[in-house]
Structure 1
Amino acid sequence: MTDSTTTANDIDQRIGRIWLGKHIEVITAVLLGVVSCMTAYAGFQAALYDSNMASAYSQAQVLSTQSESLYLEANQTYTQDAQIWNTLNELSVDMDSTDRDLAARAATKYSVLYGDTVTVEFDGAIQRALAASAAKGGEYVDPL
């Protein structure tokens, strides 16, 4: 009886080994197929992500360049307006001079400089500063 039990276990093991032996190549092929599909999908997602990142980086560089350009333009305008304002102040002091010749030349220079170099925006700032100065009883208000 022991022999028949052992023989039955041997038969079960052989059948299992034979089934696994016959199907191991199919199982391996299926697993390799699943793994290769997962690898391809991961590569596809990485390519999409890389493409999106490159596009976003390029757009960020363009925006950064534009903002730097606008900053430099604003800084240049501010510097130019400050220089013009200082010159206009010097000429207005000369216009109040007791020397009539100096006052006349300063008035001419002031009107030419104001008409030729003061922008509409800067003129608005000057007018607002003058109005604020008058409202504060003559206290100086900087238009810049």
Structure 2
Amino acid sequence: MPETPSTPDPTAPWWKRHVELITVIMLGVVATATAYTSFQSGIYGGHSDDKISQSETAATLAESLYLEGNQQYVLDSQTIQQLSAYAIAADAGDATAAAQYDDLYFIGVSEELDAAIQNAAALDESDPEFWHDPQADEDYQTALFGGYAEENDNAVALRAEGDELGYRGDLLSLYTTLMAVTLFLLGIAAVVKRPVLQWVLIATGGSIFLVTSVLTALVPFTWL
């Protein structure tokens, strides 16, 4: 004869007499929490992708600004060398070189380079034993490469933020998987007929769910 389920002892504690109801309630709670965790994981993943994409865009812009600044740096270096050659010739009495010096200075020297040249000349006068390179001037280098440095820092910050968001999304994906294990255990508990086995499965699944719920709550809520 097939085995018939035993009738719950009416004198037993409430939780022993309503194990099926407890299992169903836990299944509903865990299913809801699993859906929430999975949803949050997806949002974090999307935010992470957005930040990394912005970081790559900023890095591309930073590289462009660096190349632009470096190109100007090379041109200014050539201009300084040519000005030095004209200055030497002009000091030797070459009027043409003096005129060429003035023309090149007017055409080829920017405001930033002009300030750097003036600062270097002042340093040369105060310390004639050393030659001071105008292109070593901090304000000049900031004018050329300041935009690159700022955009590069922005790219690094965006990448770090994207990685952090991605890490949180990965954690939530792990917690979703563990909650799915809880659902599996509770599903088995709902169909088995042995009370001891039922409570072992419920206790195991409940423990996993309790830990993952706490860990999930530690991840800040985010939105679209």
TM-score between both structures, scaled by the size of structure 2: 0.49
Q: Kindly report which structure 2 residues correspond to 1:125-144, keeping only aligned pairs within 5 A, or say none.
A: 125-137=116-128, 139-144=130-135
Aligned length in residues: 127
Amino acid at match of 2:112: E
Structural mapping, 1:13-52, within 5 Å: 14-16=6-8, 29-52=24-47
By relative contact order (CA 8 Å, sep 6+), the higher-ranking structure is: 2
Letter in 2 for 1:109: Q
Unaligned runs of 5+ in 1: 1-12, 18-22
Per the alignment, do residues 143 and 96 of structure 1 end up closer, same or farther by CA in structure 2, a change over 3 Å counting? same
Please say which structure displays the higher CA radius of gyration. 1
Task: Give the 3-state SS of the residue equivalent to 1:15 in structure 2.
Answer: coil
- Give the aligned partner of residue 95 of structure 2: 104
Task: Report deviation, 1:119.
Answer: 0.3
- Give the counterpart letter for 1:15 in structure 2: T
Distance between the aligned counterparts of 1:142 and 1:109, measured in 2?
A: 22
Distance in 2 separating the partners of 1:112 and 1:47: 63
Structure 2: 5+ residue runs without aligned partners? 10-17, 136-224
Indicate yes or no: 2:118 matched with 1:123. Answer: no
Q: Distance in 2 between matches of 1:33 and 1:117?
A: 75
Give me the CA root mean square deviation. Answer: 2.9
CA distance in 1 between counterparts of 2:23 and 2:83 reads 89
Structure having the larger proportion of residues in helix? 1
1:14 shift after superposition: 3.6
Whether 2:77 is the aligned partner of 1:82: answer yes
Aligned-pair distance for 1:66?
2.5
Identity of aligned residues (%): 37
How far apart, CA to CA, are the structure 1 residues paired with 2:44 and 2:108?
52
Q: Secondary structure at the match of 1:122?
A: helix
Residue in structure 2 matched with residue 61 of structure 1 by the alignment: 56
State the alpha-carbon separation in 2 of the partners of residues 48 and 140 from structure 1: 58
- Offset of residue 26 of structure 1: 5.1
Deviation track 1:74-127 (CA, whole Å, cap 9, x = no partner) reads 211211110100111111122233xx5xx1221111110000010011001111
User: Given the alignment, which residue of 67, 71, 76 partners 1:72?
Assistant: 67
Taking structure 1 as the reference length, what is the TM-score of the superposition? Answer: 0.72
Secondary structure at 2:134 match in 1 = coil
- Between the aligned partners of 2:132 and 2:53, the Cα distance in structure 1 is 44
Which residue does 2:185 correspond to in 1?
none
